[in-house]
Chains A and B, each alone.
Chain A
Amino acid sequence: MYLLLNENDLCVYYDFDKNPGIKAKGRFVSERFAYLEDEATIKKLVQFSNGSQTNVTFSLPQMHCSSCIFLLENLHRINPGVIKSQTNFQRKEVFIIFDPHQISLRKVVELLAFIGYEPNISLKDTVSKRTSTFNRQRIYKIGVAGFCFANIMMLSFPEYFSSGNIEQNGLKETFTWLNLGLSLPVLFYSASGFFVSAWKGLRQQFLNIDAPIALAIVVTYARSYYEIITGTGAGYLDSGTGIVFFMLIGRWFQDKTYDSFSFDRDYLSYFPLGVSIIKDGIEKNIPVTQLQKGNRIIIRNEEMIPADAILLSGNANVDYSFVSGENTPVQKQPGQLIYAGGKQIGSVIELEVAGEASQSYITQLWNNDVFHNKKNGEKSFIHPWSRYFTLALFAVAATTLVFWLINDTSKILPAVSSVLIVACPCSLLLSATFTYGNMLRLFGKNKLYLKNASVMESLAKIDTIVFDKTGTITQNQTSLVSYEGTPLTDKELVAVRNVARQSSHPLSKIIAVWLQTGDDKIIPVDQFNEYTGKGLQAIVNGIDVKMGSASFMHQFNPGFASYDTGSHVHVMMNNVHMGRFNVSNQYRPGVEQLVDELKNKGLVLSVLSGDNDAERDNLKKIFGAAADLNFNQTPQQKLDFIEALQKDKKNVLMLGDGLNDAGALMQSNVGIAVSDNTAQFSPACDAILAGENVQLLEKFIAFAKSGKTIVTASFILSILYNIAGLSFAVQGILSPMVAAILMPASSISIVLLVTALSSISARAKGL
């Protein structure tokens, strides 16, 4: 890595950050990217190509610091075939323009992989083309509304101070007509989103929060245009454009999403694009979609098995951590079926495909209905409020109408229309959007990334929490090893280490690593024998060392009485049982405390694990005897478990990490994917949580609950504002100036209040 940079005079890379910390991955196998030679694949990946230059965008989840930007934007210095490369750090993407005559797409990808940024190219990119999701329309709308609002405000000023009596000839008319002209783009362009949304709601016979807003906008503009055209007044265009402007900003603030995260992944996102097959003795690359039953495929180190297949030859050591969360690789013998989704670790293996990629065991889960029905759009508690608000508003308007009908018919129109104008629910809407927008930001600061604001409302209602074990409450990749029994001398430890090193069994490997010391001498081992699935036997320095399961020990020493409750490796020296190594999962720090906190809050906790029940005792210690602990769960069983809880009217929060949790995460009310690398794979979910912050879960829930309180409080405040405005309106004496002051004042004060309250609440909760 350093050499490469040095050659190209990019050493300055190391000056930017003390720890640029990317690894040039040693596993740089050229054949892996052979599928990028395929014309059809290239066509699907590139965005534009005219023969002399090709544009392509890659997603690079490894991008993490300013040095990455530097390196990636200097690709042209490493290879002149690259014309330009530009990164988008937040989306973790790089946009590359290259000359196809000088460098092929495959070479570009290999270059990226070589410098440590292997692009995340998945089947999904070719099935549906990556499109820019950035919405510029919204910014245009805000810009236009802001421009019109400011100018209308300026032109309305004379009106406020002279109470409508402008002496200048024609000046008043000019101002009002200019206002009318300026308000048109706001009405027809900027506010169009509210009308569309309200109309969609009405068509589904649902009065959403946009309906009263659309109504208020229509009434405000209609009355203002009427006044201007008939020359009877100046109208309320200043407030009318103002509310549109403020509400657009509110929407923008709330809808700021996490661009670099993908919450709606399905199996297509996980599968590799191409695979090497052997046909008539020739190795060839084909897209995974063309893979058929009976094909013979070659899988290399670190490659994923794309379809259920039968092992033909080679030493298969399959890592299913990504599918099941199980952190120890599984050894397979030729003739055995290997499920899709596993990663081969070690040498090359050859397999015969048993079914197409789309019909494998792991993809079957996606055929479940849960994945086809969108989450049954739990109605936000804001919507009922908005409905009551609209109903109350109509009641007030009707009362006003009746009152003036009896007393003074000339005041009917001004009074009723100003009721509808002033009682705009915008402060109501703004309070929710700004509270949730700010809370999303605060959650994000603590590395819980919510899909959208409605997840927060669901989170506040949670009463049951279901944990996945591996990778969620335990740490992936690390295991806790301990030894109990007769203490081993240094010489004996060295012997054990050297025997363990001979085996490729996961447990042996873990023990060998654990026993590693500074002077790591390799001592010759004699008469080494491995009994598959049982244990090892060898002679080191004249000591007869036996290691293995309890039943293995039993073979040599019938008097040995012990049984295995988990992952244990017993050691026997010269046929004397010395003790055993216990290999257990390492729990995330703070899990016990978290469980206590959650239990104190009266939440029901359970654990679903795809693993065996070796950890039952440890989990009982943490979760207490009453907790529901389930082991050996299949992905479908996990899903059913959640469904059963929901039938009991429970609001279930599921925490999981692997693909095997995908169904359960989808089924639950809130599915949180726990990930140690938030930029990388996580199954479809409502939220992504960084592994190191799992212990903050109780605080997250408490904070989500406080969000509802804040919104309710600000609703009350906004209703007070509405009452103040309405008291003018029902009397028919609402002047444009009162409206123009009341509306921005109420909106801004509410925005400030909820932002401050949510930040204070987060601090109080310790986030």
Chain B
Amino acid sequence: MSALFILIGISILVAASFLAAFLWSVKSGQFDDDYTPSVRMLFDDTKQIPTKKIQTKTQQKLND
């Protein structure tokens, strides 16, 4: 019968770990914004373009 006590202990531990995970996710800001991430994930990762010229061009434009 002592198995029951162990099982209850485990079940509460499992539930408590879910609670901890939930609290952690709130704390890390995952619940702060429930819209933007859903859009963000749809953007494709395009290749980074390593040209320097481009930066200077834009820079010039900004300085105009």
Chain A residues close to B by CB (< 8 Å): 3-4, 7-9, 12, 16, 66, 69-70, 73, 77-80, 86-91, 107, 110-111, 114, 134, 136, 139-140, 143-144, 147, 150-151, 154-155, 168-169, 171, 174, 178
Contact = CB atoms under 8 A, between A and B. Distances in A.
Contacts of B4: 168, 171
B33 A147 contact: no
Contacts of A134: 32
B40 A7 contact: no
Contact of A89 (B1, B22, B36, B44): B36
6 contacts: A66-B42, A70-B43, A91-B33, A143-B19, A168-B1, A174-B5
A764 to B, nearest CB: 30
Greatest chain A CB density within 10 A among B5, B26, B48 is at: B26
B36 A69 contact: yes
Closest 10 CB pairs of A and B: A147-B19, A89-B36, A66-B39, A88-B33, A143-B22, A9-B49, A7-B54, A89-B35, A139-B26, A90-B35
Nearest to B57: A7
Contacts of A87: 36
Contacts of B23: 140, 143-144
Given A12-B44, A70-B43, A136 B58 contact: no
B10 interface: no
Contacts of A70: 43
B45 to A, nearest CB: 11
A747 B6 CA distance: 34
A107 B31 CA distance: 32
A86 B32 CA distance: 13
Interface string B9-31: 00110011011001100110001
Contacts of B34: 90
B26 A140 contact: yes
Nearest to A13: B43
Contacts of A73: 40, 43
Given A8-B58, A16-B43, A69-B36, 16 more contacts: A7-B57, A8-B49, A66-B42, A69-B39, A73-B43, A88-B33, A88-B36, A89-B33, A89-B35, A91-B33, A111-B62, A140-B23, A143-B19, A147-B16, A169-B1, A171-B4
B55 A80 contact: yes
A179 to B, nearest CB: 11
Given A66-B42, A168-B4, A174-B5, A7 B58 contact: yes
Nearest to A80: B55
B12 to A, nearest CB: 6
Given A9-B49, A171-B4, A178 B12 contact: yes
B26 to A, nearest CB: 5
A147 B15 contact: yes
A154 B8 CA distance: 10
A9 B55 CA distance: 11
Contacts of B33: 88-91
Interface size class of B (residues with CB under 8 A): 35 or more
Contacts of A154: 11
Contacts, number: 84
Contact of A78 (B36, B39, B44, B58): B58
Given A8-B49, A139-B26, A110 B12 contact: no
Given A174-B5, A174-B8, A4 B36 contact: no
Nearest to A10: B46
B40 A136 contact: no
A144 B8 contact: no
A155 B11 CA distance: 11
B57 to A, nearest CB: 6
A89 B57 CA distance: 30
A69 B5 CA distance: 52
Contacts of A88: 32-33, 36
Given A9-B46, A66-B39, A139 B31 contact: yes
Given A12-B44, A88-B32, A178 B62 contact: no
Contacts of A80: 55
A763 to B, nearest CB: 25
B26 A136 contact: yes
Nearest to B47: A9
A86 B36 CA distance: 9
Contacts of A139: 26, 31
A331 to B, nearest CB: 31
Nearest to A8: B54
Contact of B62 (A12, A89, A107, A174): A107
A147 B11 CA distance: 12
Contact of A143 (B5, B8, B26, B58): B26
Given A66-B39, A73-B40, A89-B35, A79 B26 contact: no
A441 B28 CA distance: 27
Nearest to A185: B19
Nearest to B22: A143
A151 B26 CA distance: 21
B18 to A, nearest CB: 8
Contact of A4 (B26, B39, B40, B58): B58
A147 B23 CA distance: 11
Contacts of B19: 143-144, 147
Contacts of A77: 48-49
Greatest chain A CB density within 10 A among B4, B11, B55 is at: B55
A79 B60 CA distance: 12
Contacts of A178: 8, 12
A519 to B, nearest CB: 34
Contacts of B8: 155, 174, 178
Contacts of B62: 79, 107, 110-111, 114
Contacts of B46: 9, 12
Contacts of B58: 4, 7-8, 78-79
A421 B20 CA distance: 31
A526 B55 CA distance: 51
A359 B1 CA distance: 81
Greatest chain A CB density within 10 A among B16, B34, B35 is at: B35
Contacts of A8: 49, 54, 58
Greatest chain B CB density within 10 A among A7, A80, A134 is at: A7
A151 B15 contact: yes
A529 B23 CA distance: 75
Greatest chain A CB density within 10 A among B4, B27, B32, B47 is at: B32
A8 B49 CA distance: 8
Contacts of B31: 136, 139
Contacts of A107: 62
Contacts of A169: 1
Nearest to B12: A151
A189 to B, nearest CB: 12
A3 B57 CA distance: 10
Nearest to B64: A28
Contacts of B32: 88, 134, 136
Nearest to A259: B33
Contacts of A79: 55, 58-59, 62
A728 to B, nearest CB: 30
Contacts of B39: 66, 69, 89
Contacts of B27: 136
A69 B44 CA distance: 13
Contacts of A89: 33, 35-36, 39
B20 to A, nearest CB: 10
A150 B44 contact: no
